[in-house]
Chains A and B, each alone.
Chain A
Amino acid sequence: MCSSCGIAAGTAQAQDHDEYSASLSGYVRTTVGVSLNDHDETKRDDKWEATMARGTLLLDLDVYTGPLIWKAVGRLDKEYKTNYLKDLQKRADSTGLPGDYSGPGGDDWMEQYDTHEFQDWLREIYVDFTLFDKVDVRLGRQQLVWGESDFFQAMDLVHGFDWRWRLFFENNEEWRKPLYLANFNIEFYDLDGALNFFVRPGLDRDEDMGSSFNIEGGRWIPHPYRGVDFTQFTTAYETDHNKGDWSDWTYGIRWGGTLGSIGYSFAYLKTFMPRPTMNPNPALNGAFGINSDPIPYGDTADNGAILGDWIYPEIDVYGFTVNGYSSTLDSTLSAEVAYVPNTPFNYGQLQSDLPGWQGVKEKDVINAMLRIDKEFKLMNLLGTNRPSLSSVQLFDTWITSYDDDDEIVEFASFGHEKDEHTVYLTFFTLMNFRRDTINPSFVIGTDVGNGGGFAIPAVEFVIGDNWRLKVEADLFWSDSKKKVCGTAKKDFSDCDPEKGNPLLGMRENKAALFDWFADDNQLVFKLTRQF
């Protein structure tokens, strides 16, 4: 150790490597998604069409230089433009308007999925060192995860996610958007806890902001908007808005520890709302069925966008987690609560083509999670080689100052009025056969209040040291399928042709989260050669 100079290689000392050394690992992967449904937005029958054909090269480099330990993760993604994506691009291009990846004058539709900038490729690069034998420091582009919840984000809000290329049950590791952070961790052994705090000094690119929901009209924008590129008539994204300026510093502090056998944490986070919020153009009254002046949220959307600006407002999050093992239940119990005062929601104009476009209401929200994990010993019954980790989780978003007249929506442009409580119930089980070489899993989730849900049966095959094959089905069900009416609709039998804009979908107010993906059943094949 180099205590005298204040920097020590705490991790280096602990590991199985020379003081100055490097190691490289990674994988080459191809992922293919095949649709099991036809989509109304395209003229072709999409059933059995490939919606994704993606190749990935990941390089994971560790370098040890005495007291400094470096990490670099590079990922190169390249997709083949399938017929399905060609159809979506064609539909997006048909407006004649320029979007981020569509419109006249270019053919960069695939850039929303491909690696096309150096910082897309260099996902992580950071250095670890220890100051004064006490403070662990990680500086650089990295991923920092707080919270306990699976599938949903309560405290895991330091980063946004790129939901554009893949949705549902992929490792968060792969779609979390890394950020430049100065991350500090101080252990207080006498108190059985550690203090973790970070600052994000605002060095990141605009595209690293918030979560990306494929509003460019690609394969994972919810129905009925496949091929509708919202970036043609909205600003995506307004990154220096007074409600959310990407160059602002954000930061967080968390105390995590144990009391006896109970684990707990308290945290405060200044971050950006992961879901983009529409700051509507006030001049829209009279257009698209809007019947009053939209109200700006903070700075007026004044940069010429037709419909308004997408922004990521800054929020404050106060969180608490607790976990422990119950001998009685032979189960692990976990809970997480995150209080987000003044959470912005779009609202109003629910009968228009642009639901939520009236403006923004701020509501105090509590996200709460309860979970029970249990290992089922299915070895004799099913022949698994070890107990099967299974988990049931309840995740509730509670709008504490809810009013029936609020007309707030989950996401601008979807007209379903959000309830006071939005509750998701999920379950997963992981099984392992033949010494973890055949690993089936099953995930299922439902929206308790609105109906609908998803089920994901999958199996992974481990073949020697190098090859991995995963096959999964992403299946959705819904209570009330919405319809796309207009020129994109193939079957008009249950549509009112007088109602709705062909590019924006019909005026409907029933579809909740899982209804948006009702026609998105798919098979996914993932073949990996690791090294």
Chain B
Amino acid sequence: MLNKLIATSLALGLAAGLSLHTFAEEELPAGTVISADNYDDVKDRMFEGKTVGSMIPERLEWMIRERNLTMKIRHSEPIEMDEKYMAATQANKGKVKFDPVTRQATGWTAGMFFDPQDIDINDPHAGDKIIWNLRGPTYGATMDLRHISFVFIDGEKGVERIQRWWSRRYYMEGRLDGGPVSEGDGTIMQKTILVATSPQDIKGLGTFSIRYNDPSASKPDDTWAYLKSVRRARRLTGSAWMDPIGGTVQLYDDWDIWDAVPTKYKSNTLLERRWVFAVAHSPLLSVDLTHKNTIKEFPSVAMDTPPHFYPASHIEWEPREVFVVEGVPPEGHPYSKKIVYMEVDWPRPYLGEAYDQNGKFWKFFIFQNRPDIGDDGYKAIMPVVGHVIDYKANFSTTWSSNMKANPAGVEEDDVTLKQLIKIAR
């Protein structure tokens, strides 16, 4: 009798264990919505050969468990970066030189500075090299942030206000749009206009900045602010690059989660190479002007669901393999450190973390990205929605844009101080 009981118990136990094992091994279906309610149930489930929990960084898990973040998951899909970009990367081999002493990289023409496949995770300068790769933007030679709006969102009360802006960035080097790869005399890296168009009290308030092609990053940006209220452009300080954009919680330095060249920072350290869930296939339309001044204007943001500033429920997260780089900004910067999660195959930031000067977690960045075909046929990958969340204030400024790569007809002359003044009318 005893033996029978033992045998039965063992059989049941084995069966239960087998059942559990089978359940854990079973692929979590695409379309599953990960939330606080089911996180413990799904974290050990498999998805594309990896456990779900292994693809959710600590801060993201905290947001799911404690701050009502939900993630609808989908299968990953290969993304093809433009052939010219990848070919230029290969062409850089042997030409781009990295000086470990100064951390400066020289000899670059276009594409990535360093082929990511060649980056040794044990290289003490791997972080610098990955951030250098950001100099070769994946969104094309001209960044047209069409219809961009910053929505100020309180985590409890919802939308507080909407600022509409106009923005364009023009790279003077590394251009792969069929024209010259480098324009000008080679001294300028990129030029950016950012100007408010609404509401009325900030309409015509804008900045024009020039970032110089200086591997040491010692030459400060030249930045002008145009104030329509006095109808005059005023020179700003060279440290404006680390200031917030207007009243938003996003710094200019958070432009694409990470905007500074490596030598602006004290150090850039590659922490790991891992998989994370990220938004790499955001819908084509991020700003629906047919629903202007309603929350439907921003369909990719869950403005009707507390805390109102996360990706909308239909936005799908997919596994992406990323480099995780930690940077230590210079003195005077609001952050003590910033962490970026960036695609391994090309420099596309997906997620980021920022810490205050006391080392406390402050902000999280979720950038929704999607592939885009530029007007010139260029295959780009670009951010289209940026959730910049200040967790100390439970507040976000989330921008959305119908961004366009390499818009036709835009020339260097279209991104100048004069153009800023013309637009800020």
Interface residues of B, count at CB 8 A: 52
Q: Which of A85-93, A225-233, A328-336 contacts B (4 or more CB under 8 A)?
A: A328-336
Partner of B237, one of A172, A375, A385, A386: A375
**A374 with B199: in contact, given A11-B423, A128-B422, A327-B220 (CB under 8 Å)?**
no
**A327 with B238: in contact, given A16-B147, A145-B230 (CB under 8 Å)?**
yes
22 CB contacts below 8 A, A to B, read: A11-B419, A11-B425, A14-B410, A14-B414, A16-B146, A27-B200, A145-B230, A145-B231, A173-B231, A187-B413, A323-B235, A324-B235, A325-B220, A327-B238, A330-B237, A332-B236, A375-B243, A379-B334, A380-B357, A386-B244, A435-B249, A530-B201
Q: Say whether A13 contacts B409, CB under 8 Å.
A: yes
Partner of B161, one of A147, A263, A377, A465: A465
Across the interface, name the chain A residue whose C-beta is closest to B334: A379
Across the interface, name the chain A residue whose C-beta is closest to B223: A325
Q: Say whether A464 contacts B161, CB under 8 Å.
A: yes
**A187 with B146: in contact, given A15-B423, A373-B237 (CB under 8 Å)?**
no
**A10 with B243: in contact, given A330-B237, A435-B395, A528-B201 (CB under 8 Å)?**
no
Which residues does chain A contribute within 8 Å of B423, judged by CB atoms? 11, 14-15
Which residues does chain B contribute within 8 Å of A327, judged by CB atoms? 220, 238
Find residues 171-193 in chain A having any chain B CB closer than 8 Å to their own CB.
Answer: 171-173, 185, 187, 189
Most buried by A among B198, B228, B235, B332: B235
Q: Answer yes or no: B59 CB below 8 A from chain A CBs.
A: no
B16 smallest CB distance to A (angstroms): 54
Partner of B222, one of A27, A71, A145, A261: A261
**A136 with B422: in contact, given A60-B200, A325-B222, A380-B357 (CB under 8 Å)?**
yes
Interface residues of A (CB under 8 A from B): 1, 10-11, 13-16, 25-27, 60, 62, 69, 71, 128, 136, 143-145, 147-148, 171-173, 185, 187, 189, 194, 258, 261, 263, 323-325, 327, 330-332, 334, 373-375, 377, 379-380, 385-387, 432, 435-437, 462, 464-466, 468, 528, 530-531
Q: Mark B215-240 against chain A: 1 for CB-CB distance below 8 A, else 0.
A: 00001101010001111101111111
**A15 with B166: in contact, given A324-B235, A375-B237, A375-B243 (CB under 8 Å)?**
yes
Q: Say whether A330 contacts B238, CB under 8 Å.
A: yes
Find residues 73-110 in chain B having any chain A CB closer than 8 Å to their own CB.
Answer: none
B157 smallest CB distance to A (angstroms): 10
Q: Say whether A145 contacts B232, CB under 8 Å.
A: yes
Partner of B200, one of A436, A437, A531: A531
Which residues does chain B contribute within 8 Å of A15, judged by CB atoms? 166, 423
Q: Answer yes or no: B152 CB below 8 A from chain A CBs.
A: yes
Q: Say whether A435 contacts B422, CB under 8 Å.
A: no
Which residues does chain B contribute within 8 Å of A144, judged by CB atoms? 231
Which residues does chain A contribute within 8 Å of B229, judged by CB atoms? 171-173
Most buried by A among B219, B231, B236, B413: B231
Across the interface, name the chain B residue whose C-beta is closest to A11: B422
**A194 with B357: in contact, given A25-B198, A385-B244, A385-B247 (CB under 8 Å)?**
no
A292 smallest CB distance to B (angstroms): 44
A437 smallest CB distance to B (angstroms): 7
Q: Say whether A325 contacts B243, CB under 8 Å.
A: no
Q: Say whether B244 contacts A530, CB under 8 Å.
A: no
Q: Say whether A128 contacts B409, CB under 8 Å.
A: no
Which residues does chain A contribute within 8 Å of B197, judged by CB atoms? 16
Q: Say whether B334 contacts A172, CB under 8 Å.
A: no
Which residues does chain B contribute within 8 Å of A16, judged by CB atoms? 146-147, 166, 197
Which residues does chain B contribute within 8 Å of A379, judged by CB atoms? 334
**A171 with B230: in contact, given A325-B222, A373-B237, A530-B200 (CB under 8 Å)?**
yes
Which residues does chain A contribute within 8 Å of B336, judged by CB atoms? none
Q: Say whether A464 contacts B146, CB under 8 Å.
A: no
Q: Say whether A263 contacts B235, CB under 8 Å.
A: yes
